[in-house]
Structure 1
Amino acid sequence: MNDLLAGLGIALVVEGFLWAAAPQMARRAVEEIATFSTGRIQSCALAAVAVGVFVVWLARG
């Protein structure tokens, strides 16, 4: 449970830093994603999940 909370905290730090450091770029990215088809969004999300699982697997050994 502690690892889950730490991971969520890190995700919030990274997400918050993106919006704080480059709000216009983040806004453009959201606008661009809004034009994607549902299938493309789902594909990108599944790829992100797979990469995340792989990174956790590497980190946890």
Structure 2
Amino acid sequence: MKAPQKTEAEKRAERLAKALRANLGRRKSQSRGRDAVTAEHPETAKADAKMPQDDSE
């Protein structure tokens, strides 16, 4: 027996969920990297925290 075909909305929702999981994985990885640098060099962590964010896109 075949599984019923998915609608475009269901396909889109699955793609979105996959993209969100991938994005979360990247963000967690970046956070772990920043935490590791902060642990190694706590004196620079304060200076990095004060730097303005680049929000231009």
Q: Hey, which of these two has a bigger chunk of helix by percent?
A: 1
> Whose radius of gyration is greater, 1 or 2?
2
TM-score band, normalised by shorter chain: 0.3 to 0.5
TM-score (norm 1): 0.43
TM-score (norm 2): 0.46
